[in-house]
């Protein structure tokens, strides 16, 4: 828990949601960390604070990032391909992954007690996204769960304006807030990082809530794609890959699985980058499990095209995050007419 209470730039604090208190101690129910927070302390995320027995969010509207990204960068390959997403984030995260690629903003509140950012009203986010020509707003870069109150307000206005809403998440949100945001979400990419030992050792979490949420969002009609970052020696064994692939196929063989290569960073700078053999091993595991769409997400030229599961014709050709050709017709293969799972328009 964090005691240092330095807040940079404009200070915007709002009452948080999903908590109870007893004898001055706050029990946060936003995510499965279920932090018990003493007065003048913060939860593990570093952005929710017990002030006089009330839980406060310290990141409402305090954006540290607002960028225009191709939707493929989230990554989402079966959701409005070729469209742009207005991507926003505040500081903070409810995981402490040793390999975090955005640790400078996700871990700053927890490690240094600092909360950077400038206040941007929810209305302006939606207006900017619309003016630029984005089709969706993506809540990404850090964990959107920890800025739930702001994300919910932005998502509500986005839906009213005809924009789609996309979460890029670690999937550790509790059921009550998940059920509240689901009616506003159109798509979500959830990390499935490894087996339970990986979660405990590398992320400070458990796998069970993540798997439960993958299944929950899918069954509730949110379009779900899943990403696994393959880290040599940590989650690239045949047994782990078969476990992950088997779980996803058990939820639905239509769920796309993105296999990404690890590059040394943060507290795992001494771990070697992922080799092509590990990526192919993961792709093979997915295909053996029966998954119809398995991609190597950040290695250009390797398993990045969408093939029809029926006739194997290339229906979407990609080069990195660029769509070179899209032949999908009303959600069906242009050659054999087989349905292609996704949200295409």
Indicate if 97 and 225 belong to the same structural domain: yes
**Has residue 345 been placed in a domain?**
no
Percent of the chain at pLDDT exceeding 90? 93
**Has residue 91 been placed in a domain?**
yes
Indicate if 24 and 171 belong to the same structural domain: no
C-alpha angle 228-146-198 in degrees, rounded to nearest 5: 30
Task: State both tokens at 75.
Answer: 């990554």
The pLDDT tens digits for 259-270 are 999 999 999 999
Indicate if 49 and 71 belong to the same structural domain: no
**Has residue 35 been placed in a domain?**
yes
**Has residue 108 been placed in a domain?**
yes
User: Could you list the residue range(s) of the whole structural domain that residue 163 is in?
Assistant: 62-326
**Has residue 226 been placed in a domain?**
yes
What is d(CA 24, CA 53) in angstroms, rounded to the nearest whole number?
Answer: 5
pLDDT on residue 106: 97
Percent of the chain at pLDDT exceeding 70? 95
**Has residue 184 been placed in a domain?**
yes
What is d(CA 314, CA 325) in angstroms, rounded to the nearest whole number?
Answer: 9
Mean pLDDT over 76-91 rounds to 98
Indicate if 195 and 167 belong to the same structural domain: yes
Taking 50 as the threshold, does the pLDDT of residue 338 lie above it? yes
Indicate if 43 and 66 belong to the same structural domain: no
Look up the CATH number of the domain holding residue 131.
3.20.20.70
Indicate if 68 and 20 belong to the same structural domain: no
**Has residue 331 been placed in a domain?**
no
**Has residue 333 been placed in a domain?**
no
Taking 60 as the threshold, does the pLDDT of residue 9 lie above it? no
CB under 8 Å to 143, separation ≥6 — which residues?
45, 92, 93, 94, 95, 106, 169, 170, 172
Indicate if 33 and 104 belong to the same structural domain: no
Mean pLDDT over 136-159 rounds to 98
Indicate if 167 and 289 belong to the same structural domain: yes
pLDDT on residue 108: 95
pTM score above 0.85: yes
Indicate if 166 and 38 belong to the same structural domain: no
Taking 80 as the threshold, does the pLDDT of residue 273 lie above it? yes
- Decide which of 26, 42, 57 is a domain's last residue: 57
pLDDT on residue 11: 54
Query: If pLDDT is split at 50, 70 and 90, which confidence band does 13 have?
Result: confident
Indicate if 114 and 29 belong to the same structural domain: no
CB under 8 Å to 41, separation ≥6 — which residues?
1, 2, 3, 49, 50
What is the DSSP annotation of 268-326?
Answer: GTTSPPPPHHHHHHHHHHHHHHT-S-EEETTSTTSS-SEE-TTT--EEEEEETTEEEEE
Mean pLDDT over 79-88 rounds to 98
Indicate if 53 and 66 belong to the same structural domain: no
What's the total number of domains in the chain?
Answer: 2
Total residue count of the chain as it appears in this document: 345
Indicate if 126 and 113 belong to the same structural domain: yes
């Amino acid at each position: 828990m964090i005691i240092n209470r330095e807040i940079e730039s404009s200070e915007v604090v709002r009452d948080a949601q999903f908590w109870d208190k007893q004898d001055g101690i706050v029990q946060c129910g936003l995510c499965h960390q279920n932090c018990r927070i003493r007065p003048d302390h913060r939860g593990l995320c570093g952005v929710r604070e017990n002030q006089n027995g009330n839980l406060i969010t310290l990141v409402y509207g305090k954006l540290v990032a607002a960028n225009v990204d191709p939707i493929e960068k989230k990554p989402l390959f079966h959701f409005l391909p070729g469209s742009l997403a207005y991507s926003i984030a505040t500081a903070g995260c409810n995981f402490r992954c040793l390999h975090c690629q955005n640790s400078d903003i996700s871990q700053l509140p927890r490690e240094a007690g600092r909360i950077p950012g400038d206040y941007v009203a929810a209305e302006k986010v939606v207006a900017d996204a619309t003016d630029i020509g984005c089709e969706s707003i993506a809540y990404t870069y850090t964990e959107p769960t920890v800025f739930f109150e702001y994300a919910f307000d932005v998502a509500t206005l986005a839906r009213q304006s005809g924009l789609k809403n996309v979460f890029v998440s670690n999937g550790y949100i509790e059921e009550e807030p998940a059920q509240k945001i689901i009616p506003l979400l159109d798509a979500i990419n959830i990390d499935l990082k490894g087996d339970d030992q990986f979660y405990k050792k590398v992320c400070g979490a458990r796998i069970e809530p993540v798997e439960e949420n993958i299944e929950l969002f899918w069954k509730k009609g949110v379009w779900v794609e899943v990403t696994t970052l393959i880290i040599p020696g940590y989650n690239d064994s045949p047994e782990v890959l078969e476990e992950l692939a088997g779980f996803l196929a058990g939820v639905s063989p239509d769920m796309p699985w993105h296999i990404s290569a690890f590059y040394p960073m943060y507290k795992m700078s001494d771990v070697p980058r992922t080799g092509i053999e590990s990526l192919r091993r993961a792709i093979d595991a997915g295909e053996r499990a029966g998954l119809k769409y398995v991609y190597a997400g950040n290695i250009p030229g390797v398993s990045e095209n969408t093939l029809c599961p029926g006739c194997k014709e290339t229906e979407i050709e990609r080069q990195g995050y660029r769509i070179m050709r899209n032949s999908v017709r009303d959600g069906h293969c242009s050659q054999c007419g087989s349905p292609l799972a996704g949200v295409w328009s």
